[in-house]
Amino acid sequence: MFVQCPRCHSLVATDPVTGAPPEYCPYCDGPMAAVVAATNEEDTAPAAAEPTVDVDPVAADDEAPEVPIADDESDAADAESNDIADTDAMVEDIVDEEDHAIAEPSPPGTATTTTPDDQSRTPPAATPHDSADIDAVDDETATEPLEAAPAKPAKRKRTAPSFVRRQAAIKRTTPRRMWFIAAALALLAVVQIVLADRAQLAANERWRPMIVSVCNVLHCTVPPWREPSAFAMLGRDVRQHPYMPGALRVDATFRNNARWPQPWPELVLTLSDINGRALGMRTFSPKEYLDRKVTQKQIASGQSAAIRMEIMEPAAGVVSFSFDFH
């Protein structure tokens, strides 16, 4: 036989021998005291008095049909054996369910089954007054589903898809790369401008040191520095040529006062009369006034040079001469 648990409303098998239910429900571990008390009352209550009917014995004997006693007893025995077999099968099913419930972990918020050892350690059954209170509480709690305490939601790790992260990385690295490319292009443009206009820039006193440094690195040529005004005449002397009649020999010394070396300048000789009017002029190239032994093409900064020139004696009236550098 089976009885219903007042707490979880599950069918609980009674003892096959005594027919009494267990003290605690094997499913929800709730007390079965109310069911035990009801069972005891049913067992101890006197059977209801059956109504009596006055029957004439003679008429009863005449009207009552003959019932085979042997057949009724055999049918009762078969029914009892079938009930016992059904009870055994149901007990086996309940035992299997209990084993399955013990093997599987119960989810949070659900009742767990107890083993015989646990039942042996359970406290004794409560009094009828206490059991009534417990039944009332069980009825209230049975109607309310067991809910587990709300767990704190785990912090979700915000991870963007791979393509979004790739785009973000590209966006972060693009400005730096663009700035680097822009700076490289700007530097290349400056170098090209410097190389293209290095002749004009080298003629400027402020830009020439930078142009010289750049060309030393890039192995480019820098036009020579030309500053005729930086040449200074240190001395001059005009005499009659000792070997050539009607000729004059001119000796002069000049120096380069510029910051950088300069090519040998062109020397311009001007003859003037007493009033300062120019009566004659001639330009001498470096090949004409330099000695053949001089091989250098430029005169260094601060360097002095002595030159000698031979000219024809000018006409009468020439009283002065001057030198200019070009």
Distance of CA 93 to the CA centre of its chain: 59
- 228-325 folds as Coagulation Factor XIII; Chain A, domain 1 (2.70.50)
Residue percentage of the chain with pLDDT more than 70: 57
Residue-level pLDDT at 67: 42
Is the pLDDT at 186 greater than 90? The verdict is yes
Domain residue ranges of the chain, discontinuous segments joined by +: 2-45+67-143, 161-223, 228-325
Sign of the alpha-carbon torsion through 207, 208, 213, 219:
positive
Residue-level pLDDT at 256: 94
Is the pLDDT at 44 greater than 80? The verdict is no
Is the pLDDT at 137 greater than 50? The verdict is no
> What is the model's pTM?
0.41
Sign of the alpha-carbon torsion through 75, 80, 83, 88:
negative
Which band of pLDDT confidence, cut at 50, 70 and 90, is reported for residue 262? very high
Tens-place pLDDT, residues 67-110: 444 444 555 555 555 555 565 666 566 556 655 555 454 444 44
CB environment 41-64: b (16+ within 10 A), e (fewer): eeeeeeeeeeeeeeeeeeeeeeee
Q: For the chain, how long is the longest CA-to-CA vector?
A: 207
Is the pLDDT at 226 greater than 80? The verdict is yes
Strands 320-325 and 247-256 turn out to be unpaired
